[in-house]
């Protein structure tokens, strides 16, 4: 089956309303995912985990089957290590509040990379303020690469937590999280990995990587919005207090106190997003059907084509590595004398949807010497014709702004 035959399964893409190049923000959804979420509400809608009547049992079975699907997807050891959240941001905050605030103290060190999305920076700024722990940064080279020798020197006995993204949402660079995890563990630190940009594009094995926490969002990998996942090593999760309190995360409640539920439910307070979990499980099955190797090959071809074309355009500068295979489908660029918002508006007028701004990574952009950029992010369902349309539009931006060619 041709990789682009799967494009037909995405209802919005078949409408040809836009050249959609903002998949790093959120992916489009195939019909099977939309059907899975709809089927839950049509045929199985009840509150999971709370009733003994058949409909509630069905809802519970669907929800817990989705958890097992995610466990297999991440190659986690047990389903109890899979916590359903709303998104990556909530998963990281869960660790910051439940682990960070309770385990870190004044003088301890938190190490984050300069390329983190704000969602993997602000929670650690909060932990630093509240506990007196010192927040330190792993710098990167201009092309995004991290230096493992420098990281080894930065991680000391004072380092208690390392937080790093697996794939940069600005540069697309893949970070060596397995090696960083090993360095962290040598000094007794734990590592949290932001997998929001990696899971849509590559196989992830949390046990092989050796990570302690791993968070991702369903909506970036063809699943519904409002459902995400936090993986955590069981021994760590068992020691952590609940992040939120309320219904379902308890075993027994008195006037004065409460006994909390076992994993994973002590971290899933309130009515859960069972329909979203069903949609996420279907998205994972869809990825298995297409296959990461075929997806990666198509995305590499598109990235290579666009980067080659942009190199030929004067005044256009691509951020990050010169190697297309190190961009994970992300091409972030600037055009001399043209603000990225203007670039985005001109492309929009040509029917092309891209992202412009700081991409929730302001420290990285400041480090790179730019205030904002334009980002085109490709998914396997994009075509070479769409890539050509992007290049044609970018080539005319300066002229349309009155600067000439």
Q: What are 278's two structure tokens?
A: 């069903």
Please choose, from the candidates 112, 130, 97, 109, the residue with its C-alpha nearest in 3D space to the C-alpha of residue 168: 112
pLDDT at 249: 86
Set out the domains of the chain in order of their start, with CATH numbers. 3-26+291-400 (3.90.1150.10), 33-287 (3.40.640.10)
pLDDT at 251: 86
pLDDT of 405 higher than 80? no
pTM (two decimals):
0.97
- Antiparallel, parallel or unpaired: β 190-194 and 213-217: parallel
Mean pLDDT of 312-326: 97
Give the whole-angstrom CA distance, residue 358 versus residue 98.
29
**Mean pLDDT taken over the chain:** 97
β-bridge partners, 85? 228
**Ramachandran angles phi, psi of 384, nearest 5°:** -65, -30
pLDDT of 347 higher than 70? yes
pLDDT of 140 higher than 70? yes
Element holding 317 (H helix, E strand)? strand 316-318
Q: Give the count of alpha carbons within 13 A of 331, CB side only.
A: 30
Listed in order, strand segments (DSSP E) in 55-197 are: 82-85, 109-113, 134-138, 159-165, 190-194
Residue 360 appears among annotated catalytic residues: yes
pLDDT at 16: 84
Dump pLDDT digits (tens) for 195-241: 999 999 999 999 999 999 999 999 999 999 999 999 999 999 999 99
Mean pLDDT of 150-175: 98
DSSP 3-state of 43: helix
pLDDT at 393: 98
Distance from CA of residue 100 to its chain's centroid?
21
Q: Which of 32, 140, 348, 360 is catalytic?
A: 360
Question: How many CB atoms sit inside 10 A of residue 69's CB?
Answer: 21
Dump pLDDT digits (tens) for 21-52: 999 999 999 999 999 999 999 999 999 988 89
Give the whole-angstrom CA distance, residue 348 versus residue 317.
20
CB 24 within 8 A of CB 403: no
Please choose, from the candidates 6, 14, 2, 55, the residue with its C-alpha nearest in 3D space to the C-alpha of residue 222: 6
DSSP 3-state of 355: strand
CB 287 within 8 A of CB 222: yes
Q: What are 188's two structure tokens?
A: 């007794």
Mean pLDDT of 177-193: 98
């Amino acid at each position: 089956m041709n990789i682009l035959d799967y494009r037909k399964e995405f209802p919005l893409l078949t409408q040809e309303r836009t050249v959609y190049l903002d998949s790093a923000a959120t992916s489009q959804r195939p019909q099977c995912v939309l059907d899975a979420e709809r089927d839950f509400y049509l045929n199985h809608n009840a509150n999971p985990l709370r009733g003994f009547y058949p409909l509630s049992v069905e809802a519970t079975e669907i929800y817990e089957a989705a958890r097992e699907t995610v466990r297999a997807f991440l190659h986690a050891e047990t389903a109890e290590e899979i916590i359903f959240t709303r998104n990556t941001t909530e998963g990281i905050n869960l660790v910051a509040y439940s682990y960070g605030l309770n385990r870190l103290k004044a003088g301890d060190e938190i190490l984050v990379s300069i390329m983190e999305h704000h969602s993997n920076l602000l929670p650690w700024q909060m932990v630093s303020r509240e506990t007196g722990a010192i927040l330190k940064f792993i710098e990167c080279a201009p092309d995004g690469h991290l230096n493992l020798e420098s990281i080894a020197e930065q991680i000391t006995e004072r380092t208690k937590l390392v937080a790093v993204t697996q794939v940069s949402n600005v540069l697309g660079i893949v970070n060596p999280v397995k090696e960083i995890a090993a360095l962290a563990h040598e000094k007794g630190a734990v590592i949290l990995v932001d997998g929001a940009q990696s899971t849509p594009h590559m196989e992830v094995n949390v046990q092989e990587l050796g990570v302690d926490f791993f968070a991702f969002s369903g909506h970036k990998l063809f699943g519904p919005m409002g459902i995400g996942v936090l993986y955590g090593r069981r021994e760590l999760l068992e020691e952590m207090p609940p992040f939120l309190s309320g219904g379902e995360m308890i075993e027994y409640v008195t006037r004065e106190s409460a006994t909390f539920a076992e994993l994973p439910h002590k971290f899933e307070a309130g009515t859960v997003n069972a329909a979203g979990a069903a949609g996420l499980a279907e998205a994972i099955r869809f990825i298995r059907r297409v296959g990461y190797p075929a997806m990666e090959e198509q995305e590499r071809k598109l990235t290579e084509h666009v980067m080659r074309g942009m190199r030929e355009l004067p005044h256009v500068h691509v951020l990050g590595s010169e190697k297309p295979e190190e961009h994970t489908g992300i091409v972030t660029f600037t055009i001399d004398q043209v603000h990225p918002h203007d670039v985005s508006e001109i492309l929009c007028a040509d029917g092309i949807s891209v992202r412009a701004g700081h991409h929730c990574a302001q420290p990285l952009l400041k480090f790179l010497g730019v205030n904002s950029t334009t980002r085109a992010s490709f998914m396997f369902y994009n075509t070479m014709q769409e890539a050509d349309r992007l290049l044609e539009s970018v080539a005319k931006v300066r002229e349309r702004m009155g600067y000439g060619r």
